[in-house]
C-alpha cells in the first residue's frame, strides 16, 4: 500500500527550536548562536566580551562540546551561569539540548545568552536552536578560503567575526579574498575584525551586540 | 555525521505514519532533500539502514529526491535559483537572500505491505 504525506523531517527539532524562541522572547535578552570551526576562538572571544559588557549587562553561556567541561570552566567566572552540554559523538547542538539547558537557567537576569556551538563548520548550520542571531567566526590561521568552502554556514550568519587579526602580519591571509567570497555569499552580515588577545576590534563587536539587542527589545519581536 | 540525527527522525516518523495507517512492513520511504542542505544522500542511506534495523522499516529502500534551491533577494525582491555558494542576486548584485526552497527535508510517502500482509506482531 502507498501512503502519501508531506511531513517536515526536522519538525521535532524545529518545533523545539520554536518553543525555545518563544521562551526567549519573554525576556529582554539577546540569544547568540556562535558557530565556527574548533579553535577559531569562540571561548576566548567570550572570555573577553563578557567582562567588557560588565555587571550592567549580565551574560550566561551554554557550551557544546563532544567531551570535557573545560570551556564552561573557562567562561564560568565571568557569567551568571555557564552550562556545558556534552554531545558525546554529536557534531552539533540540537534544539532539545538547548531546551533542557534553558530550563535550568535564570533567564530574567540576563542581557545576553551566548550559545557556543560544537566546533564544526557544517552540521551546526543545519539545526535551528531558537536563537535570535547567528555569529560566525573565522580565524586568520584557518585560511582565507573558508567562506568559499563552507558557504552554507556563512550564508546564515547575521554577523561574521574575523578573529585573531593580530596574526595578520605573520600569516598569509587576504581579507580581500574573504570580502570577495562574502560578496557572493552574504552581503547582509557585517564583517568585524577582532583579536581577543590584544582587544583589537572588540569595541565594534560590543557595539554590534548592543545595537542588535536594543533593536530586538524595542521591536518587541 | 548529522545524517544520523536526520535518519533517526525519518525512521521514527515513518514508523508512526505506517502505524497510523495500520500498514505492515515498510518497503520504501520517499523523501525530498533541498540541495542546500548539507546532506550526503549516500551517508543518509547508510544511516537509515543502521537506524531502521530491528524495526518495521528494516530493509526498506530510502528514495531521495533533490529539491532545486530558490531564493528571494531581500533588497530588491527578485526571485532566482542560487547556485551552491553563490547567493548574489542577478538583478541588484546583493547577496542578502531569504531561502524559499532548497533547505527542506520532507517525508513524502511510504510504500508498505498492506495490513493483511502484515506479519509482524
Give me the residue spans of the domains in chain B.
3-68+101-116
CA distance to A95, B25, B34, per residue, from B107 (Å): 20, 17, 12
Q: Whole-prediction pTM value?
A: 0.86
Q: How confident is the model at residue A221 (pLDDT cuts 50, 70, 90)?
A: very low
A208: left (phi over 0), alpha (psi -120 to 50) or beta: alpha
Chain B residues touching A10 at Cβ < 8 A = 6, 9, 105
**B12-59: pLDDT as tens digits:** 999 999 999 999 999 999 999 999 887 888 999 999 999 999 999 999
Q: For domain B3-68+101-116, which CATH number applies: 3.40.50.2300, 3.20.20.70, 3.40.228.10, 3.30.2320.50?
A: 3.30.2320.50
ipTM of the modeled complex: 0.82
The dihedrals phi and psi of A119, each to the nearest 5 degrees, come to: -65, 110
* Domains of chain A, first to last: 11-215 (3.40.50.300)
Chain B segment 49-68 residues within 8 A of A by beta carbon are none
**Closest chain B residue by Cα to residue A7:** B107
**A22-60: pLDDT as tens digits:** 999 999 899 999 999 999 999 999 999 999 999 999 999
B6 — contact with chain A (CB < 8 Å)? yes
Amino acid at each position: 500500500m502507498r501512503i502519501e504525506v508531506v511531513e517536515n523531517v526536522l519538525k521535532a527539532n524545529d518545533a523545539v527550536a520554536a518553543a525555545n524562541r518563544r521562551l526567549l522572547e519573554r525576556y529582554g535578552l539577546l540569544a547568540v548562536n556562535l558557530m565556527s570551526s574548533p579553535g577559531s576562538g569562540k571561548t576566548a572571544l567570550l572570555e573577553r566580551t563578557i567582562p567588557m559588557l560588565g555587571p550592567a549587562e549580565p551574560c550566561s553561556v551554554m557550551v557544546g562540546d563532544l567531551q570535557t567541561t573545560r570551556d564552561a570552566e573557562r567562561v564560568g567566572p565571568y557569567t551568571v551561569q555557564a552550562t556545558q552540554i556534552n554531545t558525546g559523538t554529536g557534531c552539533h547542538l540540537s534544539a532539545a539540548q538547548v531546551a533542557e539547558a534553558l530550563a535550568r537557567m535564570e533567564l530574567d537576569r540576563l542581557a545576553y545568552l551566548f550559545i557556543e556551538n560544537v566546533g564544526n563548520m557544517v552540521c551546526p548550520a543545519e539545526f535551528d536552536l531558537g536563537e535570535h542571531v547567528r555569529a560566525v567566526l573565522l580565524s586568520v590561521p584557518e585560511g582565507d578560503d573558508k567562506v568559499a568552502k563552507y558557504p552554507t554556514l556563512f550564508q546564515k550568519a547575521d554577523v561574521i567575526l574575523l578573529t585573531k587579526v593580530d596574526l595578520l602580519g605573520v600569516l598569509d591571509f587576504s581579507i580581500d579574498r574573504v570580502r570577495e567570497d562574502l560578496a557572493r555569499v552574504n552581503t547582509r552580515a557585517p564583517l568585524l575584525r577582532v583579536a581577543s588577545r590584544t582587544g583589537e576590534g572588540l569595541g565594534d563587536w560590543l557595539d554590534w551586540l548592543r545595537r542588535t539587542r536594543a533593536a530586538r527589545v524595542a521591536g518587541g519581536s | 555525521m548529522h545524517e544520523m540525527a536526520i535518519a533517526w527522525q525519518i525512521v521514527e516518523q515513518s514508523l508512526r505514519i505506517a502505524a497510523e495507517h495500520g500498514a505492515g512492513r515498510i518497503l520504501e520511504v520517499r523523501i525530498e532533500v533541498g540541495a542546500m542542505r548539507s546532506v550526503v544522500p549516500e551517508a543518509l542511506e547508510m544511516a537509515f539502514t543502521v537506524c531502521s534495523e530491528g524495526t518495521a522499516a528494516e530493509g526498506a529502500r530510502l528514495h531521495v529526491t533533490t529539491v532545486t534551491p530558490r531564493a528571494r533577494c531581500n533588497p530588491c525582491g527578485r526571485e532566482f535559483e542560487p547556485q551552491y555558494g553563490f547567493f548574489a542576486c542577478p538583478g541588484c548584485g546583493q547577496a542578502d537572500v531569504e531561502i524559499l526552497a532548497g533547505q527542506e527535508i520532507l517525508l513524502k510517502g511510504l510504500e508498505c505491505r498492506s495490513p493483511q500482509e502484515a506479519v509482524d506482531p
